[in-house]
Amino acid sequence: MARLTTARKVLLALVVVNLIDGVISIVDEGVTPSWVVYPILLVIGTVLLLRKPSRVGIAFLGASALIFVLVHIPFTVEALSPGPCENPADSQRECSSVLWPITLTGVPVVTVIASGWAWRRERRGPTPPAERSAPGQAPS
């Protein structure tokens, strides 16, 4: 099992927020393919994150969130454009100008950024004790 660093804990928290977004979206709009596939990918990424000491889980979560954002760019653009909001996939379905920018773009983009941060942080390795001293104090 991988050590739970701060970066991994942040990613786990964001996975939970993404999953909550999925539940909200399903309640609001019904079941859509995106909110079936994406949560499955998040669960797979979480398992990799917790079981592998390497950065595989971090990369998997970041890539999954990035693909999710890229697929939903038309929906976010439509939700943020002036005038009446129309669902780009199906004009008969409802469009949410408040929910879409948050659930389809905002939280997944934060997940991508956090994945990059976690990747970089774990690439450097653990911080030596001398660098962990309190601000303003000289290392001992």
Chain-wide mean pLDDT for the chain?
87
Are 115 and 65 a contacting pair, CB within 8 Å?
Answer: yes
Look at phi and psi of residue 122 and say left if phi exceeds 0, alpha if psi is from -120 to 50, else beta: alpha
15 pLDDT band, cuts 50/70/90, is: very high
* pLDDT value, residue 128: 57
How many other CB atoms are found less than 10 A from the CB of residue 57? Answer: 24
- Rounded to 5 degrees, φ, ψ at 107 are -65, -45
* pTM for this prediction: 0.82
- For residue range 91-129, what is the model confidence (pLDDT) as tens digits? 777 778 889 999 999 999 999 999 999 999 988 776 555
76: its two tokens: 């976010």
Q: Which two tokens stand for residue 1?
A: 């099992």
pLDDT tens for each residue of 18-33: 999 999 988 888 888 8
- Residues 97 and 48: their CA atoms lie apart, in Å, by 34
In this predicted structure, what is the pLDDT of residue 88? 74
Q: What is the number of alpha carbons within 13 Å of residue 99 lying toward its C-beta?
A: 16
pLDDT at position 87 is: 76
